[in-house]
Amino acid sequence: MRARDIMTKEVTSVRADLSVELAIALMLEKRISGLPVLDPDCAVVGIVSEGDLLARPELGTARPKPGWVQYLISPGRLAEAYARERGRRVGDVMTREVVTASPETPLDEIVDLMTRRRIKRVPIVEGGRLVGLVTRADLLRSLRRALQEAREAPPRDDAAIRTDVETAFVDAGVIPLELIEISVVDGEVGLRGSLTDERQRAAIRAAAESVSGVRAVHDRLTWVDPMSGLVLLSTQEADPRGGTRAV
């Protein structure tokens, strides 16, 4: 998938000369955490977000004044920092370096940008103009649809499911396949055997649950702590439902 497939097209944006007070009102009312800042040609000149408004004298959260050494280094940059922290116009407080993408950018590149730059939204630009916005919530919507579709998949043959679960375990690469016995009845996967590390349990369940047609996973795997000799069963054994359902 690409940015085009999941981006929001109706983007709430502001101009640099809007007051900070009105920009905040807009963010709170629409329950969004940031706004692209556009010039009259709809080019993105900045982004103003919650993060730009946390350190403020009005909240008693402004940073301590810099020492005299820093004044010698760059009075111009200090003037800028002062305006950023106290400004009443969007243009004074916004972040000017904006990471943008095109409608054709693949989702994995968008996620990579968000993760590395720790940003919440990527403006989508075409021909120098803002055409959309991909937010983390847009990605969640997409993931929710995929999980829903997987859950609503039609029933499958138990033998085919069993083969796929085995393949998923092999693909995961972190599951001791030779120690695990897999059974499938009416789309419900039963697992017996032992683990070499208690942390494998969640990986095994995740791998089994990701197979199409699986309706529940019954984990009866045990792990023997090599230090204490303590035997650990799945906590869900105590669950009267007898398994983790696929929802």
Binds a copy of itself (CB under 8 A): choice among 43, 160, 170, 174: 174
Residue 147 in contact with a copy of itself, rule: CB under 8 A: yes
Minimal distance, residue 139 CB to a copy of itself, in Å:
6
Q: What would the two tokens of residue 181 be? A: 């016995």
Q: How far is the CB of 99 from a copy of itself (least distance, A)?
A: 15
Using CB under 8 A, which residues numbered 194 to 233 contact a copy of itself?
196-200, 202-203, 205-207, 209-210
Nearer to a copy of itself, 80 or 181 (CB): 80
Question: Under the phi-then-psi rule, with left for phi > 0, alpha for psi from -120 to 50, and beta for the rest, what region is 71?
Answer: alpha
Q: Does 167 bind a copy of itself (CB under 8 A)?
A: no
Distance CA 23, CA 13 (A): 9
The reply to whether 39 sits near a copy of itself by the rule CB under 8 A is no
Q: Which of 127/206 has CB closer to a copy of itself? A: 206
CB nearer to a copy of itself: pick between 160 and 202: 202
What is the distance between the alpha carbons of residues 5 and 144, in angstroms, rounded to a whole number?
15
Cβ atoms of 186 and 214 closer than 8 Å: no
Tell me which residues in 125-144 interact with a copy of itself (CB under 8 A): 136-137, 139-144
Burial of 140 (0-12, 13-18, 19+ CB in 10 A): exposed
| Alpha-carbon Rg for the chain in angstroms | 26
- Distance between CA 130 and CA 98 in Å, rounded? 12
The C-alpha atoms of residue 40 and residue 242 are separated, in whole angstroms, by 61
Q: How many residues does the chain have?
A: 247
Nearer to a copy of itself among residue 87 and residue 123 (C-beta): 87
Residues 63-102, mask of contacts with a copy of itself (x by CB under 8 A) = --x-----x---xxxxxx-xx--xxxx-xx----------
Q: Out of 43, 129, 146, 237, which residue is the one contacting a copy of itself (CB under 8 A)?
A: 146
